[in-house]
Structure 1
Amino acid sequence: MPKDPYAALGLTKTASADEIKKAYRRIARTDHPDLNPDDPLSEARFKDAGRAYDLLKDPDQRRRFDAGEIDASGAEKAPRGYYRDEARRPENPYAQGRAGGNPFNDAFDPDDFFASFGRNRGGGFNRSGFGDRPGEDTQYRLSVPFLDAATGTKTRITLPEGGTLEVAIPEGARDGQILRLRGKGAPGFGAGRRGDAFITLDVTPHPDFERDGDDIVVTLPITIDEAILGGKVPVRTVSGTVNVSVPAGASSGQVLRLKGRGVKGRTGKGDQRVILRIVSPPRIDAALKQFMEGWRADHPYDPRAGKEPV
């Protein structure tokens, strides 16, 4: 049984949608398998958090889980008293007849039973077999890593009844997108065609990339000297690492744009927005401290001038 989704994220049922997202991103940053190789506990925490986020990020699924309609895996739960009530329904042949609910008593008419069964199934049934009817559509959910959704891939899902189904994830696939696989549902009756399979995609968030429409947003840490002097700095994109030109005199929060480095949309590819963040060195040594003190004495300036205090 999957772990309680709120507990997996270190939250309670009162958590907001934003708190749920932040909790998952925090765990993804600390316990991602790429950052903790050969650490099964971190991998388990990451997987539990991913399953929890997949369930709770959807408001309707979260409501249904909180109401006890589905379990932590997203599977349907029978309502309380369902099986008792179902057994007692007057139209249920197993609720009639002799004590114990046996329909095959002296009054049992097989013609009536099979005709009623055929009507409940949608018609076409008689004592010689089913008529030609299309098969049922099937519904599945598929968890897709962020980068696979951005660049497109092929994968397989294991079906509950056994076997696998190949699924082509289109480039630029979105969270919640539904794929329709024609003829991959349940088999039909007689000469009826197979139903279709509908795959709902759950795109797993990435610790570094965030999607905004068709744009990709990343934060790029830079050093003090890179901010002052400028230069070429490597930055990850969904399709690989490229060098970005940091202008001299860059500030934290400044946004650089990489054209066409986003994800595929209806009108082409989006861009990648790179948000600069200046990071001080881990240790301020005497030479840097002395230099900055001398520079500040000779070059005073106030970046907050003219702004009202918050």
Structure 2
Amino acid sequence: MADDPYDILGVPRSATDDQIRKAYLKLVKELHPDVNPSKTAEERFKKVTAAHDILGDPERRRQFDMGEIDAGGEPRRPAWRSYGGAGAGAGASTRGGRGGPVFEDFGDMFSDIFSSAGRGGARGGSFAMRGRDVRYTLDVDFVEAVQGAKKRVTLPDSGVLDLTVPAGVSDGQVLRLRGRGEPGVAGGESGDALVEIHVRPHKDFRREGDDILIEVPITIDEAVLGGKVEVPTVGGRVQLTIPKATSSGQVLRLKGKGVRNATTGATGDELVTVRIVLPETIDESLSYFLSEWRQKHRYDPRK
């Protein structure tokens, strides 16, 4: 029998979906063959993936918790009702004989099972079962996650899976491809392919909700006098106006240059934090000017 998926992921049975996802991602980063090529890690990685295949899908998790499927994702045998003997009810028809009662009609015993199977599409007495979902992970660049992209996933059997990464997808989001999982049994529908998105960090940008955050250096004269500077966005470089008397750490907003929310249709902003950077060498003229200025305009920003 397969190990308990809760034990494999190291989470209690009361764990939330988010706790399960975080535990799974932590183990994947630790055990992924690209990071940890050992045979032991490979076996644990397979078990972790199989456990998340159960607990990461709300419906399959419910089925496991209710005892409808086992830890390997296979349907459990239904519990049989007691017939005959001391436990037989008035509806159990038997005829006397040594060695115990003999059932007149086995159809009574199996009627519930096969009638429900028939509704699910049983053919010739076999159960029509839906194919299992399969799970994959896909790494995408930060800009691809914001703008959307066409990507290809290479499957373990060397097959490929083409999919569209929608604009605004977030790290850890799961894309469902209907019917691209394992084939069904006895005419049952195919399972789905579940692709979990991992967004690679960007050297300049950070995401916070639908906003994109970036830090931009400016000169001391730009901070004092104001001006226009060129700053990067996910859509290309744009001009940003620096107001006069801008302090280091001040946040300026580029409207509509953030992430488009797929649910609301609204687009976030790019929030630019400016940082004043002094020249490597302070020449005599600048030193003299600031000395004179300080004598007449002394102030304390720390008060």
The TM-score normalised by the length of structure 1 is 0.59
The aligned counterpart of 2:216 is 220
The aligned counterpart of 1:169 is 165
Q: Displacement, 1:282?
A: 1.7
Shift in alpha-carbon separation, 1:179–1:76, aligned structure 2, 3 A = farther
1:252–1:277 CA contact under 8 A, matched in 2: yes
Any residues of structure 2 matched to 1:140-179 within 5 Å, and which? 140-179=136-175
Match of 2:269 among 254, 268, 271: 271
Letter in 2 for 1:280: L
Any residues of structure 2 matched to 1:1-310 within 5 Å, and which? 59-61=22-24, 64=27, 72=35, 75-77=42-44, 132-265=128-261, 266-267=263-264, 268-305=266-303
Greater Cα offset, 130-139 or 210-219: 130-139
- Following the alignment from structure 2 to structure 1, what is the Cα–Cα distance between the partners of residues 28 and 143? 28
Deviation digits for residues 274-300 of structure 1 (CA, Å, limit 9, x no counterpart) = 111111112212222222222222321
- Mark the runs of 5 or more structure 1 residues left unpaired by the alignment: 1-57, 80-122, 306-310
SS at match of 1:155: strand
Q: Displacement, 1:189?
A: 3.3
1:231–1:247 CA contact under 8 A, matched in 2: yes
Letter in 1 for 2:164: A
Aligned length: 203
Deviation digits for residues 90-132 of structure 1 (CA, Å, limit 9, x no counterpart) = xxxxxxxxxxxxxxxxxxxxxxxxxxxxxxxxx99xxx99764
- Mark the runs of 5 or more structure 2 residues left unpaired by the alignment: 1-20, 48-116, 119-123
- Following the alignment from structure 2 to structure 1, what is the Cα–Cα distance between the partners of residues 25 and 258? 30
The percentage of aligned residue pairs carrying the same residue is 47
Deviation digits for residues 68-100 of structure 1 (CA, Å, limit 9, x no counterpart) = 877645855178xxxxxxxxxxxxxxxxxxxxx
Shift in alpha-carbon separation, 1:131–1:62, aligned structure 2, 3 A = closer
Bigger Cα Rg = 2
1:208–1:218 CA contact under 8 A, matched in 2: yes
- Following the alignment from structure 2 to structure 1, what is the Cα–Cα distance between the partners of residues 25 and 156? 23
SS at match of 1:221: strand
Letter in 2 for 1:287: S
- Following the alignment from structure 2 to structure 1, what is the Cα–Cα distance between the partners of residues 42 and 245? 55
Shift in alpha-carbon separation, 1:294–1:69, aligned structure 2, 3 A = closer
The TM-score normalised by the length of structure 2 is 0.60
Shift in alpha-carbon separation, 1:130–1:165, aligned structure 2, 3 A = farther
- Following the alignment from structure 1 to structure 2, what is the Cα–Cα distance between the partners of residues 248 and 65? 49
The aligned counterpart of 1:53 is none
Letter in 1 for 2:289: F
Shift in alpha-carbon separation, 1:129–1:180, aligned structure 2, 3 A = same
- Following the alignment from structure 2 to structure 1, what is the Cα–Cα distance between the partners of residues 248 and 125? 73
SS at match of 1:264: coil
1:69–1:76 CA contact under 8 A, matched in 2: no
Shift in alpha-carbon separation, 1:169–1:276, aligned structure 2, 3 A = same
SS at match of 2:231: strand
CA RMSD in angstroms comes to: 3.0
Q: Displacement, 1:64?
A: 4.0
